[in-house]
């Protein structure tokens, strides 16, 4: 078992494309994914998902705690609208500091935190 946390980035129909966010094309989203990959290297495993579900909240990133922090009660944190370099860098900074249950979440991410649910997912798919 890895002692690293996992960061999961949605790259489905809405996340990672200009479909939901006109003006933010695929190269923009790919650049943010590359930036996040470099920012967390050696501190977390990066995974991509075809769809995490809450399409209305795209672009979605889930920051998981390290295994030790999870055993101590920390849970993954879901972030919505991770659409720019500043937000992406804040995610990477938090992961490098230890992430959920280990380091305080940067205040800049407070407005991005959400709890996923079926309602958000259905709404997002209908609007997508």
> Tens digits of per-residue pLDDT, 10-33?
987 778 777 777 788 888 888 999
Please identify which residue in the block is written with the tokens 């972030």: 79
List Cβ neighbours of 78 (8 Å cut-off, separation of 6 or more). Answer: 54, 57, 60, 61, 62, 113, 114, 115, 116
**Which of 38-42, 102-106, 109-113, 124-128 has the lowest average pLDDT?**
124-128
From CA 79, how far away is CA 108, in angstroms rounded?
11
The residues that bridge with 79 in the sheet, in sequence order, are: 61, 113
Exposed, middle or buried: residue 89 (CB in 10 Å: 0-12, 13-18, 19+)?
Answer: middle
Q: Is the pLDDT of residue 34 over 90?
A: yes
């Amino acid at each position: 078992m890895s002692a690293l946390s996992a960061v999961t980035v949605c790259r489905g129909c809405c996340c990672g494309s200009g479909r939901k966010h006109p003006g933010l094309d695929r190269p923009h989203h790919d650049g943010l994914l590359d930036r996040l990959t470099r920012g967390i290297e050696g501190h977390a495993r990066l995974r991509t998902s075809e769809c995490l579900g809450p399409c209305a909240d795209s672009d979605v990133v889930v920051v998981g705690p390290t295994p030790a922090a999870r055993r101590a009660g920390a849970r993954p944190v879901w972030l919505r609208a991770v659409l720019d370099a500043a937000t992406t860098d804040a995610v990477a900074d938090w992961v490098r500091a230890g992430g959920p249950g280990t380091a305080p979440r940067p205040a800049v991410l407070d407005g991005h935190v959400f709890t996923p649910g079926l309602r958000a997912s259905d709404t997002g798919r209908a609007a997508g």
